[in-house]
Amino acid sequence: MKKAVYNSPLGNIVIEMEGRCLTGLYFSDETALSNSKNNDKALRKVALWLDGYFSGKNKTADFQINQKGTPFQRAVWAELEQIPYGTTCTYGQISSQLAARLGKQKVSPRAVGRAVGCNKIAIIIPCHRVIGTDGKLTGYAWGLERKEKLLKFEKHCRDQFDL
């Protein structure tokens, strides 16, 4: 496994790779790792994508992701990837969509919330775009302040650049 730290406007982001697959992308106070602008091509590709994201240019990633999780967690994360850039949806909406996709009558929004909370690939698997039914920001592993800033940033980019 390779790791590097990317210095973002919202704090350090740890990039974890196994081969050419992204296995982790999360905010951290870690600084002891190397800067991601090193000679590793896979780490550099993710760092360059993050440069584009934080300059308002990149919406979707074009590299392989291999996040370990249960089949249910993976299904929830797949639903998260369907949330359009600069928009939000609720845990209840995700649970309804997932139930329909899985051919089930119902999927618990709480179970969805737990799976969302296990996501270790921030921004690309956009758990920050999930909000409470009442429209309020709820849980975010890396802090509600970061979640709010990511949502405002994406909305601003979407409005400004017609993304």
Residue 39's pLDDT is: 66
Averaged confidence pLDDT in the chain: 90
The helix or strand, by DSSP H or E, that contains position 25, with its residue range, turns out to be strand 21-27
Task: Give the distance from CA 70 to its chain's centroid.
Answer: 17
Q: What is the pLDDT of residue 32?
A: 60
Type of residue found at 156: H
Return the pLDDT at 139. Answer: 86
Q: Report yes or no: 109 and 102 within 8 Å, Cβ to Cβ.
A: no
Helices (H) and strands (E) in the chain, counts: 5, 5
Domain positions in the chain = 2-54, 71-161
**89 is known as an active-site residue:** no
Read off the pLDDT of each residue in 4-11 and give the average, rounded to a whole number: 94
92 forms beta bridges with none
**CA 152 to CA 146: how far, in whole Å?**
10
The pLDDT score that the predictor gives to residue 35 is: 52
Closest Cα partner for 84 from 122, 23, 43, 130? 130
Q: Say which of 21, 118, 127, 157 is annotated catalytic.
A: 127
The domain defined by 71-161 carries CATH number 1.10.3720.10: no
pTM of the predicted model as reported, rounded to 2 decimal places: 0.88
